C-alpha cells in the first residue's frame, strides 16, 4: 500500500512539473499585460472611442458656428453687364460689399457699399457712382429682447455639454467592457491551470487502477469509472481552451490590436471589503451621472424653447431706419468724396406691423412646448428614482458578493482540511487512491468557486463605478485633456 501511495505522489509530481513547464513556455511566447495597460490600450486604439473623438471635431465646429452669430458678416460681389438697346451699347461694371451684424436685442445693422462704372471708355458725367446705405432693423414685439435672441447661444452651449457627457458615457461604457473582458480572460486562464491539474490527477488515477488490476487487487469492470472521469476531464480541458481563446479574442477586439497577439494577463486577483453608504453614493451619482445631467439640461432646453414659442405668438412690429448717400461724377476720386459727405444723404424711418390670424400651427407649437416641459420634468424625476434604486441594488449586490467570497474561501479551507485528513488515513491503510483524487477534485472545484466569487465581487465594484460615473477617475483618465 505504501508503494502504491508513493508511486501516485511521484507520478502526480512529474505530471504537474511537465504541465508547469508547458505553461511557462506558453507564457514566454506571450505578452504580459496588466489591467491598467489594457485600459490604456483601449483609450488609444478602441474604435468606438476613436469614433467618439472624431465626432467631437464636428461638434466643436458646430459650437463655433453658433458662437459666430453676433459677429459681423462680410459679402463681396462683382458684376459686369454688356447691353444693347436700339443703337446704343453700354458696358457697366459693379463691385460691392455688404456688412451685416446681428445684435443681442434682436436688431440688425447693415452697411451696403456699391461702386458702379458706366462706359469707362467714354466721357460721361455719370461714369462713376458710389452708393453707401446704412440700415438698422429692430423688432419691437416678436423677436425682441436679450433672452429671446440669446436663446440659440444657450441651446448651443447646452448641446456642447450634452456632447461632452456623451463622450464621457462612451468612455465609461467602453472601459467597463474592457475591464470585464480582461477579467473573463484572466478567469479562463486560471481555469485552464485548474483543469490541467485535474486532468493530471485523473490520468494518474487510471494508471494506478490499471496497476491494481494487473496485480489482481481490482476488478476489470471498476476501471470504467476512472476512464469516464479521464474522458470528462479531457472534454473539460477542451472546453476551457475554447473559452480561453474566445475571451482572448474578445479582449483583442475591444483593444483593436492584432488578433494573433498572445496575451498573458498578470493582474493579481485580490479583494478587500469596502465601506459603502447608500445615501452618499446616491447623491454622488446624481451629481455625476451623464444621463441624469443630460436630463436636467434637456429640461432647461424645454424652458428656453417655451420662451421662444411664447414669443412667436406676438405680433410683428419692426422699426426700420435707412440712410443713403450717393456720389456721382465723371471722376472716380470725386465720386468717392461726394459719397463721403454724410450730411448730404437721404434717410427714411419706417414702422412695419404684421398681425397674423388663424395661425393654428403656431399655436400648436406653444401647446407642444408646454407639454414637452412637463414631460421633461417627469423624465428628470424618473431618472432620479431609477438612479437611487440602481445604487441601492448595486450596494446590496456588492455585500452579497463579498459574503460569497468569504463562504467560498471557507469552503476551500474545509476542502483542503478534508484532503489532508484523507491523506493521513491513506498512510495507515484506511483510504485508497480513488478517494484521494476525489477529494483533490473537490478542492479544485472549491478553488474554482473561490476564483469566480472574487471575479464577481470585483466586477460588482466596477459596475458601481459605472453607475456612479467614477470609472474615469478610478483609472486616472482626464477627459478634459483628451477632448
**What is the tens place of the pLDDT at every residue in 56-96?**
999 999 999 999 999 999 999 998 887 666 666 777 788 99
Of 93-97, 149-153, 171-175, where does mean pLDDT reach its minimum?
A: 93-97
Number of H helices, E strands in the chain: 13, 8
236 compared with 313, residue with greater pLDDT: 313
Q: What percent of the chain has pLDDT over 90?
A: 61
Contact criterion met (CB below 8 Å) for 170 and 51: no
172 compared with 116, residue with greater pLDDT: 172
Q: How many CB atoms lie within 10 A of CB 458?
A: 21
Ramachandran angles phi, psi of 232, nearest 5°: -65, -40
User: What per-residue confidence (pLDDT) applies to 7?
Assistant: 42
Q: Which residues contact 425 (CB under 8 A, 6 or more apart)?
A: 431
What pLDDT band is residue 172 in, cutting at 50, 70 and 90?
A: very high
User: What per-residue confidence (pLDDT) applies to 337?
Assistant: 57
Q: Kindly state the average pLDDT of the residues 124-152.
A: 87
Q: How many CB atoms lie within 10 A of CB 88?
A: 8
Residue 13, pLDDT above cutoff 70: no
79: left (phi over 0), alpha (psi -120 to 50) or beta: beta
Residue 312, pLDDT above cutoff 80: yes
Residue 22, pLDDT above cutoff 50: no
CA torsion through residues 67, 69, 72, 77, sign: positive
CA–CA distance, 272 with 454 (Å, rounded to integer):
10
User: What per-residue confidence (pLDDT) applies to 215?
Assistant: 79
What pLDDT band is residue 26 in, cutting at 50, 70 and 90?
A: very low
Residue 451, pLDDT above cutoff 60: yes
What pLDDT band is residue 391 in, cutting at 50, 70 and 90?
A: very high
Alpha helices by DSSP H, listed for 428-478, are: 433-468, 471-474
Ramachandran angles phi, psi of 47, nearest 5°: -70, -40
Residue 99: all three cell numbers together: 456688412
Residue 130: all three cell numbers together: 458710389
Question: Tell me: the pLDDT tens digits for 176-215?
Answer: 999 999 999 999 999 898 888 878 877 876 777 687 678 7
What pLDDT band is residue 157 in, cutting at 50, 70 and 90?
A: very high
Residue 314, pLDDT above cutoff 70: yes
Q: Domain boundaries in the chain?
A: 2-63+152-300+374-482, 75-102+107-142+316-355
What pLDDT band is residue 232 in, cutting at 50, 70 and 90?
A: confident
Q: How many CB atoms lie within 10 A of CB 55?
A: 14
CA 448 to chain centre: 34
User: What per-residue confidence (pLDDT) applies to 320?
Assistant: 95
Residue 123, pLDDT above cutoff 90: no
Of 123-137, 270-284, 457-471, where does mean pLDDT reach its minimum?
A: 123-137
CA–CA distance, 444 with 196 (Å, rounded to integer):
11
Contact criterion met (CB below 8 Å) for 315 and 351: no
Q: Kindly state the average pLDDT of the residues 452-469.
A: 97
Average pLDDT, the chain: 85
CA–CA distance, 376 with 386 (Å, rounded to integer):
15
Contact criterion met (CB below 8 Å) for 380 and 313: no
CA–CA distance, 266 with 212 (Å, rounded to integer):
42
Q: Which residues contact 372 (CB under 8 A, 6 or more apart)?
A: 302, 305, 306
User: What per-residue confidence (pLDDT) applies to 14?
Assistant: 36
Q: What CATH number was assigned to the domain covering residues 2-63+152-300+374-482?
A: 1.20.1600.10
114: left (phi over 0), alpha (psi -120 to 50) or beta: beta
CA–CA distance, 133 with 320 (Å, rounded to integer):
13
CA dihedral 212, 214, 218, 223 (to 10 degrees): 90
Contact criterion met (CB below 8 Å) for 290 and 162: no
What pLDDT band is residue 127 in, cutting at 50, 70 and 90?
A: low
217 compared with 159, residue with greater pLDDT: 159
Amino acid at each position: 500500500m505504501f508503494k502504491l501511495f508513493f508511486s501516485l505522489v511521484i507520478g502526480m509530481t512529474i505530471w504537474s512539473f511537465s504541465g508547469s513547464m508547458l505553461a511557462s513556455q506558453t507564457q514566454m511566447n506571450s505578452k504580459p499585460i496588466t489591467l491598467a495597460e489594457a485600459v490604456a490600450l483601449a483609450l488609444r486604439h478602441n474604435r468606438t472611442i476613436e469614433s467618439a473623438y472624431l465626432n467631437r471635431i464636428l461638434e466643436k465646429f458646430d459650437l463655433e458656428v453658433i458662437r459666430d452669430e453676433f459677429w459681423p458678416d462680410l459679402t463681396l460681389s462683382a458684376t459686369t453687364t454688356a447691353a444693347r438697346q436700339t443703337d446704343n451699347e453700354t458696358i457697366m461694371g459693379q463691385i460691392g460689399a455688404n456688412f451685416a451684424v446681428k445684435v443681442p436685442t434682436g436688431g440688425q445693422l447693415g452697411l451696403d457699399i456699391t461702386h458702379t462704372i458706366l462706359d469707362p471708355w467714354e466721357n460721361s458725367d455719370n461714369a462713376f457712382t458710389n452708393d453707401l446705405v446704412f440700415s438698422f432693423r429692430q423688432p419691437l414685439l416678436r423677436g425682441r429682447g436679450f433672452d429671446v435672441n440669446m436663446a440659440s447661444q444657450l441651446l448651443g452651449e447646452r448641446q456642447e455639454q450634452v456632447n461632452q457627457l456623451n463622450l464621457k458615457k462612451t468612455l465609461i461604457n467602453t472601459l467597463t467592457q474592457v475591464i470585464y473582458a480582461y477579467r473573463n480572460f484572466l478567469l479562463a486562464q486560471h481555469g485552464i491551470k485548474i483543469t490541467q491539474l485535474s486532468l493530471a490527477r485523473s490520468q494518474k488515477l487510471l494508471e494506478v487502477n490499471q496497476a491494481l488490476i494487473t496485480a489482481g487487487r481490482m476488478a476489470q469492470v471498476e476501471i470504467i469509472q476512472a476512464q469516464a472521469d479521464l474522458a470528462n476531464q479531457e472534454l473539460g480541458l477542451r472546453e476551457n481552451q475554447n473559452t480561453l481563446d474566445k475571451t482572448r479574442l474578445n479582449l483583442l477586439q475591444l483593444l483593436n490590436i492584432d488578433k494573433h497577439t498572445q496575451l498573458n494577463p498578470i493582474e493579481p486577483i485580490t479583494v478587500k471589503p469596502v465601506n459603502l453608504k447608500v445615501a452618499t453614493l446616491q447623491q454622488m451619482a446624481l451629481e455625476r451621472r451623464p444621463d441624469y445631467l443630460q436630463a436636467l439640461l434637456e429640461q432647461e432646453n424645454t424652458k428656453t424653447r417655451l420662451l421662444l414659442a411664447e414669443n412667436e405668438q406676438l405680433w410683428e412690429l419692426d422699426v426700420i431706419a435707412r440712410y443713403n448717400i450717393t456720389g456721382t461724377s465723371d471722376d472716380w476720386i470725386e465720386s468717392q468724396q461726394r459719397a463721403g459727405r454724410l450730411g448730404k444723404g437721404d434717410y427714411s424711418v419706417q414702422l412695419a406691423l404684421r398681425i397674423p390670424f388663424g395661425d393654428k400651427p403656431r399655436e400648436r407649437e406653444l401647446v407642444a412646448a408646454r407639454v414637452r416641459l412637463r414631460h421633461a420634468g417627469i423624465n428628470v424625476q424618473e431618472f432620479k428614482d431609477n438612479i437611487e434604486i440602481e445604487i441601492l441594488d448595486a450596494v446590496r449586490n456588492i455585500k452579497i458578493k463579498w459574503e460569497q467570497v468569504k463562504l467560498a474561501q471557507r469552503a476551500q479551507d474545509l476542502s483542503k482540511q478534508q484532503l489532508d485528513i484523507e491523506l493521513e488515513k491513506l498512510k495507515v491503510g484506511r483510504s485508497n487512491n480513488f478517494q484521494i483524487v476525489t477529494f483533490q477534485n473537490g478542492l479544485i472545484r472549491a478553488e474554482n468557486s473561490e476564483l469566480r466569487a472574487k471575479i464577481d465581487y470585483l466586477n460588482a465594484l466596477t459596475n458601481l463605478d459605472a453607475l456612479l460615473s467614477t470609472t474615469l477617475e478610478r483609472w486616472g483618465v482626464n477627459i478634459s485633456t483628451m477632448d
